[in-house]
Amino acid sequence: MTSPSSPTAPFHASVPGAGVGVLLVHGFTGSPAAMRPWAEDLHARGYSVSLPQLPGHGTRWQDLQATTYDDWYAEAGTAFAKLKAEHEHVVLCGLSMGGLLSLALAQEHGRDIAGLVLVNPAVDSNRKDVKLLPVLKHVVPAFPAIGNDIKKPGQEEQAYPRTPLKAAASLFKEMPRVRERLAEITQPLLMFRSRVDHVLDPSSGRAIMSRVSSRDLEEVVLEESYHVATLDNDAPMIFDRASSFIARVTS
């Protein structure tokens, strides 16, 4: 079954008899539009895919103010549970905050997850204003947008024009908890990291590469993409290498 054609809508497409399901999780203030081409590519290669729309996303930025990390994690968890019930193997693919949620799911579900593909995952930040979020969220409703950081002209992530601070505070509150448990990650892991990223600093990538316990671990540096690399110049390479990785870890 496939979801409606709107780029911000969730996208779910099953393949009868497929033994592998792939969960794709989009980023903070973004929408399924950032992952839709990847989901369609995986489905065309014979994988069942699930790309949920996280609560508060894909509508108005004000809607995101009423949601928290727990809501986003619960939605990703529900999608994972459905895939796992119907497929022998499940692989998680996460962009930015979607990478954080994927790591948290991997920490909880262990061997039920066959592998992880992360694109510019967010688990850390050196931004000074992050420390002020618990106070700022009561004073200022939103900051300027962080979305649509794409080098390739003409691409649109369908992200919000503002960054709601209550939701952002919830996200950054949970980052240390996931980061402190990175050693629990033992699944095969493939990480794509953009050399130039105007949303995240390099601390997230360094933390993951230095702390996870995965023996099957690879980092690929992207030279021609910014933060939303799934819609950028390196997207075809990401899709190809991710598919090879998925085929290998689920064989």
Which is catalytic among the residues 149, 197, 232, 234?
197
For this structure, is 197 an active site residue? yes
Contacts of 82 (CB under 8 A, 6+ apart): 50
Which is catalytic among the residues 31, 48, 50, 96?
96
The answer to whether 86 and 21 have CB atoms below 8 angstroms apart is yes
For this structure, is 227 an active site residue? yes
Alpha-carbon gap, residue 35 to 20, rounded angstroms: 18
Alpha-carbon gap, residue 245 to 220, rounded angstroms: 12
Which is catalytic among the residues 26, 43, 89, 227?
227
Supply the residues annotated as catalytic.
96, 197, 227
